[in-house]
Chains A and B, each alone.
Chain A
Amino acid sequence: DAKTTQPTSMDCAEGRAANLPCNHSTISGNEYVYWYRQIHSQGPQYIIHGLKNNETNEMASLIITEDRKSSTLILPHATLRDTAVYYCIVRAKNTGTASKLTFGTGTRLQVTL
């Protein structure tokens, strides 16, 4: 699976959009981009995933660049409850055997009043 690079930490004011970048310059054509988040002392929570088109669900939007070498997770109106570590993960579409997730250290998002 391709490696991802994320900023270590970010701050966002409550009510504003939080834009979390991820670089995955070595991504291959059969690899999806997944986003999870982990609130302190809880298990990771699935947010969204995409292949090449932008995706939106009730939690967030995922914008993938045309060359697929980077993506941005957007939380449109961040709240204090969105304070968490956000992980960007690249994973093969058809893994054949293990579909394990390879986590990095993620981005620690702090939402403030």
Chain B
Amino acid sequence: DTGVSQDPRHKITKRGQNVTFRCDPISEHNRLYWYRQTLGQGPEFLTYFQNEAQLEKSRLLSDRFSAERPKGSFSTLEIQRTEQGDSAMYLCASSLEMGTPRDTQYFGPGTRLTVL
């Protein structure tokens, strides 16, 4: 396995701009998760996909946020009209199966977003 990859690793944007992040999960992992982590806190769940279906969204995922996984492989997370409060590390994780010991989530390196 090559691991979960995320792109870009760092993004600086001005308030009001739109940004999009990409996550490539471990190949054949059918579950993909997005988390957000602010300074000094643990990661917080945002949303997850099983294959191409988005099955749960956290209340943290406001209507400015949208996530897709169109072919059940890579995923994108878009933030529209960014605000300074969106500054955080955005983490992606993937796992193979639900409800078994193999359903262990493996994380990517994250995308650090700074909104000026």
**Which residues of A come within 8 Å of B, CB atoms?**
34, 36, 41-46, 49, 85, 87, 93-106
Contacts and interface: CB of A to CB of B under 8 A. Distances in A.
B21 interface: no
Contact of B56 (A45, A97, A104): A97
Contacts of A104: 42
Given A94-B98, A100-B48, 14 more contacts: A42-B110, A43-B93, A44-B43, A99-B31, A99-B98, A99-B105, A100-B45, A101-B33, A101-B35, A101-B43, A101-B45, A102-B45, A105-B42, A106-B42
Interface residues of B, number: 28
Contacts of B45: 98, 100-102
Interface SS majority for chain A: loop
B42 A87 contact: yes
